[in-house]
């Protein structure tokens, strides 16, 4: 680099030669002439020696002004000139950088485009700083740990090389001190990372050994390890969730076996007992007729239980044949309400209905949609408080058809709503009623098969079941209603 004392900048001669040799010679002639005219010949010689430049300066009339080259070298040098306000100088130059430029023309043109323009250089500096900061931030947040560590080592190594090259025998103490500080920094950084990685390894081992409640605090780790810590925390949560689901599944299986055994055993025991009573000789004809009625009732109950169990299993596994078509919710719901009116009256339940004037069309299987409504109405007739009111409504909301069933429970709702959709789980925990606990399980399975959603919740003793289906927008003349 040749220092330009006039503007404080630096000129790379290799780049200048690649761009424009005449311009490079002019720059050198200008600087040398200014130094000679200012009487700073010794300073000029020192600068030129450092830059590999040899010169000889004469005035236009042949007067010698100064040199740092031999006579044979002067004979092989380039000759150029420069005129100041006081004098015209003839300058002979021999520049080592001209021998092997090693710079492409494109690079030279770009460099010369910015050289000497404070506006261009300032804009380039700002852009470079922004890109450097953004790249550093991106590297710190996304770069691999090992890559960062190796680059840090490379940076320190490069710094050591520069330090050694610029040092002399008098400052070896300073050099040694810097090397010791760097070694301490490297050891400290390495120890911290090894400690953090060791903690993460211990956490993984604890999770593998069965400690599913092991948590990992991401705040304790540097940015480069936060992603690793977060993933380990997610693994712990996933394992814990899987174990809880497995335990819940095992518990429900046990309850299922217990409940199905109870529900089958009860009518079967009655059938056996009444059959024995009928076969006894001492039983009168009137008693035998009464026993036969009970026998028939329990047989029907057992048949319904087995049919519902088969239906629940098919619905849960998707082994049913669906015939999806446009359905008018109001019409199908009204049909089911009419069929269940007698049961509701027997249970002393007053049903309040609310429907919009417009048609609410959905895509569903009319047969299974009716089955869903029937099961929910059965649930109302069995578990509602006698003398209370129940509510059935259908509305349109945000592209969905919402069908709501509400009733006041006669027993406290002190159980999980989610468990109600499991097979053989009933709202009557004492199991005094004749229900088998398959109704809501069938409802949920059939809703899933028809792309619907079932939401159940309780507010004190008010039980609410909401069905939602996507609203089907079709033209009136294309509407086909299938009544189940």
Q: What is the mean pLDDT of residues 161-185?
A: 65
User: What is the chain's mean pLDDT, rounded?
Assistant: 76
Map tokens 């852009």 to a residue: 127
Q: How confident is the model at residue 319 (pLDDT cuts 50, 70, 90)?
A: low
pLDDT at 377: 92
Pick the most confident of 184-193, 236-245, 451-460. 451-460
Whether the per-residue pLDDT at 320 is higher than 80: the answer is no
The helix/strand/coil state of 7 is coil
Residue closest to 124 by CA, chosen among 113, 135, 134, 133: 113
Q: How far apart are CA 336 and CA 442, in angstroms?
A: 17
Residue closest to 423 by CA, chosen among 249, 301, 303: 249
Between residues 473 and 255, which one has the greater pLDDT?
A: 473
Sign of CA dihedral 158, 161, 165, 166: positive
Q: What is the mean pLDDT of residues 137-165?
A: 67
Tell me 283's DSSP state.
Answer: S
Pick the most confident of 114-128, 263-277, 395-409. 395-409
pLDDT at 472: 87
Q: What is the mean pLDDT of residues 411-436?
A: 55
**Angle between the 145-166 and 172-208 helix axes, to the nearest 10 degrees?**
170
Between residues 41 and 254, which one has the greater pLDDT?
A: 41
Tell me 409's DSSP state.
Answer: B
Between residues 250 and 271, which one has the greater pLDDT?
A: 271
Q: What's the CA dihedral at 255, 261, 262, 266 to 10 degrees?
A: 170
For 400-414, write each residue's pLDDT tens digit.
999 999 999 888 876
Q: What is the mean pLDDT of residues 347-374?
A: 90
pTM here is 0.45
Radius of gyration of the chain (CA): 47
Q: How confident is the model at residue 100 (pLDDT cuts 50, 70, 90)?
A: very low
pLDDT at 9: 46
pLDDT at 260: 64
Q: Are 383 and 433 in contact (CB under 8 A)?
A: yes
Between residues 342 and 191, which one has the greater pLDDT?
A: 342
Pairing state of beta strands 350-354 and 389-397? parallel
Pairing state of beta strands 389-397 and 400-408? antiparallel
Map tokens 């159980």 to a residue: 415
pLDDT at 108: 64
In degrees, rounded to 5, the angle at the alpha carbon of residue 72 between the alpha carbons of residues 70 and 75 is 110
pLDDT at 189: 76
The percent of residues above 90 in pLDDT, for the chain, comes to 14
Bridge partners, 384 (sequence order): 409
């Amino acid at each position: 680099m040749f220092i330009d004392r006039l503007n404080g900048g630096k000129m790379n001669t290799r780049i200048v030669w690649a761009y424009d040799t005449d311009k490079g010679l002019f720059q050198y002639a200008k600087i040398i002439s200014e130094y000679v005219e200012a009487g700073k010949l010794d300073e000029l010689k020192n600068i030129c020696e450092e830059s590999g430049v040899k010169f000889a300066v004469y005035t236009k009339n042949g007067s010698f002004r100064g040199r740092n080259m031999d006579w044979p070298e002067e004979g092989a040098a380039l000759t150029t000139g420069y005129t100041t306000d006081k004098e015209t100088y003839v300058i002979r130059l021999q520049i080592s950088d001209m021998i092997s430029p090693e710079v492409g023309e494109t690079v030279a043109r770009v460099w010369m485009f910015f050289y000497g323009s404070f506006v261009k250089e300032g804009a380039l500096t700002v852009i470079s700083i922004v890109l450097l900061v953004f790249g550093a931030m991106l590297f710190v947040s996304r770069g691999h740990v090992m890559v960062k560590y190796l680059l840090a080592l490379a940076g320190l190594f490069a710094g050591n090389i520069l330090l050694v090259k610029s040092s002399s025998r008098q400052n070896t103490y300073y050099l040694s001190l810097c090397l010791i500080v760097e070694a301490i920094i490297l050891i400290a950084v390495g120890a911290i990372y090894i400690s953090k990685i060791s903690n993460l390894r211990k956490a993984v081992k604890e999770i593998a050994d069965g400690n599913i409640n092991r948590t990992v605090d991401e705040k304790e780790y540097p940015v480069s390890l936060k992603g690793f810590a977060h993933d380990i925390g997610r693994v712990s949560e996933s394992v814990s969730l899987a174990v809880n689901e497995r335990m819940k599944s095992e518990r429900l299986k046990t309850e299922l076996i217990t409940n199905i055994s109870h529900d089958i055993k009860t009518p079967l025991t009655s059938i056996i007992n009444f059959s024995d009573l009928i076969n006894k000789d001492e039983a009168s004809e009137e008693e035998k007729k009464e026993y036969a009625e009970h026998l028939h009732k329990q047989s029907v109950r057992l048949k319904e239980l087995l049919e519902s169990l088969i239906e629940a299993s098919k619905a849960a596994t998707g082994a049913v044949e669906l015939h999806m078509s446009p359905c008018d919710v109001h019409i199908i719901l009204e049909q089911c309400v009419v069929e269940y009116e007698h049961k509701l009256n027997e249970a002393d339940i007053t049903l309040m209905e609310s429907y919009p004037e417009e048609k609410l069309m959905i895509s569903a299987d009319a047969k299974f949609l009716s089955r869903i409504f029937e099961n929910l109405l059965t649930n109302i007739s069995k578990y509602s408080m006698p003398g209370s009111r129940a509510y059935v409504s259908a509305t349109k909301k945000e592209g969905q058809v919402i069908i709501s069933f509400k009733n006041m429970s006669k027993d406290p709702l002190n159980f999980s709503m989610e468990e109600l959709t499991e097979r053989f789980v009933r709202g009557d925990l004492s199991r005094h009623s004749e229900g088998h606990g398959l109704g809501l399980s069938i409802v949920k399975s059939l809703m899933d098969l028809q792309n619907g959603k079932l939401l159940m919740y309780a507010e004190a003793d008010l039980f609410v079941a909401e069905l939602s289906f996507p609203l089907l927008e079709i033209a009136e003349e294309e509407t086909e209603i299938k009544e189940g």
